[in-house]
Amino acid sequence: MDSLTFKWKPPTCGLIMIGLLIGLLVPSAASSYSIGIGISDTTGPVAEVVFMGYAKMDQKGSGLHLRTFSRAFIIDDGEQRFVFVTVDSAMVGHDAKAAVLRNLQSKYGKLYTESNVMISSTHTHSSPGGFMMDVLFDLSTYGFVKESFSALVNGITKSIDKAHNAIVPGRIFVTRGQVLDANINRSPLAYVNNPQEERDKYKYDVDKDLVQLQFVAANGQPLGVINWFAVHPTSMNNTNHLVSSDNVGYASMLFEKKINKNVMVGKGEFVAAFASTNLGDVSPNTRGPKCEFSGKPCSAQYTCPGQKEMCFASGPGKDMFESTSIIAHKIFDEAWNLWSSGMASEVKGPLRVVHRFVDMPKQKASFYNQTSGKVEEVHGCLPAMGYSFAAGTTDGPGSFAFEQGTTTSNPFWNTVRNFLAKPTAEDIRCHGAKPILLATGRMVLPYQWQPKIVSTQLALIGNVVLAGVPGEFTTMSGRRLRESVKKAITRVDSSLENINVIIAGLSNTYSDYVATPEEYQIQRYEGASTIFGPHTLTIYLEQYAELAEALVKRTTVDPGPTPPDLSKVKLISLVPPVIYDSPKWGKEFGDCVKQPPRTARPGDTVSVRFISGHPRNNFMTGNTYLTVERLEEDETWTPVATDADWETKFIWERTSVILGSSHVIIKWEIPENVIPGEYRIRHNGYYRYILGGVYPYQGVTDHFQVKTPYLNY
């Protein structure tokens, strides 16, 4: 029997019993795999570093909303080992993965390799950038930021290391559900250009399925869970300046808190991930686009009549924080229902992985042209970005007068483009409907602007396949890839007809978007950002079909050409370092200059202020800049919230550039389920002395009483 379906109700005596019940329901089934799961903090510089995602140079960090984490899952069947990592970052570049592998190999030898490690980013747009090394991706962040790179690499490495040291016999289960009203298609004009008969196979123009892998130890102990649901982590919009893991990061925290109970965020044994999939054209801003100032509907081309009025989509809440919470709760609620319903199929069978680097501009593929009714040979193009790329999306509109859907070039912008690198006639022909704004494939100064060689990877776990893809696949692109992989597998082994194919988005390499050839013709943002030309997806469909056949047949594939090592290049970095800190005259670091009120109640927001050093002096990795503490009966203080919790905000403000003075504002929104009692807020930080050295400091507020809610009579 290849799979086992079981049905059970969670007992009332605790969540640990859920896992124990799983074990009791199938006592004769031996453990299928060895499983290790780990989580680690990846939060980098929370101040004065530009966020990666919206490409807005003025969107610099000024504090912390939600810490970012790396969540690692190791699966081993005795013959093969596979590592899946999902990390709260905008994307992951080849050089970051290479650095992680160097760290691991220095400790574990050849156990962890390019082939058996898959690193997928959640794609939050509210984390510090500067870690990609490719010029285009680091351009808006004022170049490479070593602090961001190191925090990301070290956090991922540590999460895998924790998973390695936590391996136990265990079992895996797969199930799926549906989430409504949490995502919309932000480029419906492109989507409807796909063939009608293909669109008729699907009820929605975005995927509504949530796929869940459940990990349980052989003794019944719940270990972790991975959820894949197609949504952009752009509930926090481009006006945000607080580091945040956005909607999927908050959903992870909700799930972990549900099981880990009173453990601080990021410290629990149970790890819950909400990973990216084919989210390319999928937005969480479910109210859809409206004109920014007037509130009127945008034009058919998503433009507004005002000279500087943007077409902006908004989420379901009154502001971006509430919208983030609403979307997070929607996907968490369904994930929790799946986890607690007891309806899942056990994953059984061999574990296999296959990986290949692909030089995309050199690839050829066969494409059936519906217009001509003939099969044509197509090929990839040198990377290039179209005009509509500069227009941005309704989640985050761009600058200047660029519009989505632009299929004709402009002489002025062409002149600017040619100054950087002029596309050849072949480039223009190859990219077809895309008017080239940046010929990035021909831009070599100061170094590579975008990758030409990408990572492609498949992992087979019993009847589940993870397709690690090097970019953002649109809804229909993901659907076609899932279908192509499944067909390739069942051609070789018909017993795998019930295979679950999951797109693991933004894995290992970042090469922007992958739209279908039909969507590409419309040149919305996604099509303009499909960098290898109109048949990027066509090439991937053949590449992944080849990998799928090799996976099932257990044949060896050519590893492909190795990408260039950009870590050996002299990288441009224009982010100034922290020179020194000094407190306000007559004050010391850690002094509380705004105390909390004497009493507060659930729903109130307590706001306090401290004299501070620069947060970049120490990222407090695995620690916290703030702690909300409650006084216990034995006169000890118990932490109830940190800077990783939803209820807190850590805001840094520079008060004098010349003097190097700054302060932090700490806000705690008191939750409804708070325990009444005596509280205080602590701030921990580091300051840089003008004569050298970095030193710790701390401060604490006066005590204040949190009382029961007001009663209405």
Asked if 66 and 244 touch (Cβ cutoff 8 Å), the reply is: yes
* 283 is a catalytic site residue: yes
Instruction: For 668, list phi and psi in degrees, rounded to 5.
Output: -130, 115
Q: Residue 429: which residues within 8 A CB-CB, separation 6 or more?
A: none
Residues 391 and 387: their CA atoms lie apart, in Å, by: 7
Q: Phi/psi class of residue 322: alpha, beta or left (left: φ > 0; alpha: ψ in -120 to 50)? A: alpha
Report the 3 state secondary structure along 75-101.
EECCCCEEEEEEECCCCCCHHHHHHHH
Q: CA neighbours within 13 Å on the CB side: how many for 552?
A: 22
Among 127, 140, 148, 283, the active-site one is 283
246-260 vs 320-341: helix axis angle to the nearest 10?
Answer: 50
Residue matched to tokens 């109109």? 534
Task: List, in sequence order, every residue forming a beta bridge with 171; answer none if it has no partner.
Answer: 216
Residues 46 and 240: their CA atoms lie apart, in Å, by: 12
Residues 633 and 278: their CA atoms lie apart, in Å, by: 51
Asked if 516 and 495 touch (Cβ cutoff 8 Å), the reply is: no
Tokens of 138: 């680091």
Radius of gyration of the chain (CA): 25
Task: List, in sequence order, every residue forming a beta bridge with 377; answer none if it has no partner.
Answer: 366
Residues 157 and 163: their CA atoms lie apart, in Å, by: 10
E-only strand ranges, 430-526: 436-438, 453-461, 464-468, 472-473, 500-504, 513-514
Residues 541 and 366: their CA atoms lie apart, in Å, by: 10
Tokens of 182: 């949490």
Residues 639 and 263: their CA atoms lie apart, in Å, by: 10
Closest CA to 534 of 676, 407, 400, 680: 407
Residue matched to tokens 């059984």? 348
Residue numbers annotated as active site: 283
